Amino acid sequence: MLLQQLINGLTLGGVYAIIALGYTMVYGILELINFAHGEIYMLGAYLGIIFLGIFTTMGLTAASLPLALFLTIILSVFFCAAYGYTMEKVAYKPLRNAPRLSPLISAIGVSIFLQNYVMLTQSATDKVFPVRFGDQHIRFLNVDATYVQLMIIVVSAFIMLSLHLFGRTRMGKAMRATAQDKTMSSLVGINVDSVISMTFIIGAGLAAVAGVMVAAYYGLVNYSIGYIAGIKAFAAAVLGGIGSIPGAMLGGIMLGLVESLGAAYISSEYKDAYAFIILLIILLIRPSGILGRHTEEKV
């Protein structure tokens, strides 16, 4: 029973961690909470349904399903990355030197716009994922794990490792330099605008991957799923230490495990509350988060 809940928790935690990475990357660069990030995740889920539905009408078979799912994720990432790039250019870049409240209001406005955009174009009813994976599972150590759960855990681990290695690349180093000091970064030849745009592109792409995997896992999506997932992922980023990529990963995994274990051993009616209770406890003990660093502003 415990091992089963750990599998369930790692599945949820992997999704929360991927979404939280987008929050923490943008905050690390701009010190901005992108409250529209959850809606990009929601768009990824809808795009996953649309593209896999297209492949299904083309005569999808069991042998071609993995390839179709892979192509669906790639296409969803591409379109969501375009949304993220456009969102940064339209809603955030013009307000880069404005008071901090202005981009925050803009982020909330983009979130509301995307929710209503999807509701009007896709209707307010739930959408069903074209392929059901619920009955396909493997059993080991008296634990049932579906193929989708294993896929989510493996893909999440791969993304986290890839993002860690990406930090050693030229662009990764430019992102870290920009996060530390935008002015000095521009003086040494770093194109700060390009770095910020790339941050939004990567974050939106990660959200798209999470959206497709969640759509495949639950089989149903609606236009409001981005709100709850976004709030939980933001809580995961804060729990691990906002601005810290390893912290976002750790916070997401912890949140998923707490939610799964709490629902199994305490009460499933309050599963959404357990994560926030843990968040409050951690922040009371360590206000900067588990892996966050407290920095004093010099004047």
Instruction: Look at residue 189 and tell me if it is in a domain.
Output: yes
Single-letter amino acid, residue 2:
L
Instruction: Look at residue 79 and tell me if it is in a domain.
Output: yes
Instruction: Look at residue 293 and tell me if it is in a domain.
Output: no
Instruction: Look at residue 199 and tell me if it is in a domain.
Output: yes
Instruction: Look at residue 198 and tell me if it is in a domain.
Output: yes
Judging by beta carbons within 10 Å of its beta carbon (0-12, 13-18, 19+), is residue 4 exposed, middle or buried? middle
- Rg (alpha carbons) of the chain, rounded to whole number: 19
Instruction: Look at residue 116 and tell me if it is in a domain.
Output: yes
Judging by beta carbons within 10 Å of its beta carbon (0-12, 13-18, 19+), is residue 192 exposed, middle or buried? middle
Instruction: Look at residue 82 and tell me if it is in a domain.
Output: yes
Cα–Cα dist 36/187, whole Å? 31
pLDDT of residue 142: 74
**Which CATH number is 118's domain given?**
1.10.3470
For the whole model, what pTM was predicted? 0.90
Percent of the chain at pLDDT > 70 equals 94
Mean pLDDT across the stretch 105-121? 92
Tell me: pLDDT of 135 over 70.
Answer: no
Tell me: pLDDT of 49 over 50.
Answer: yes
Instruction: Look at residue 27 and tell me if it is in a domain.
Output: yes
Contact 137, 147 (CB under 8 A): yes
Averaged pLDDT of the chain: 86
Please, what sign has the CA dihedral across residues 195, 46, 108, 252?
A: negative
Domain count, the chain: 1
pLDDT of residue 195: 92
Domain of 38, in residue numbers: 2-285
Determine if residue 219 is left, alpha or beta; phi over 0 gives left, psi from -120 to 50 gives alpha, anything else beta.
left
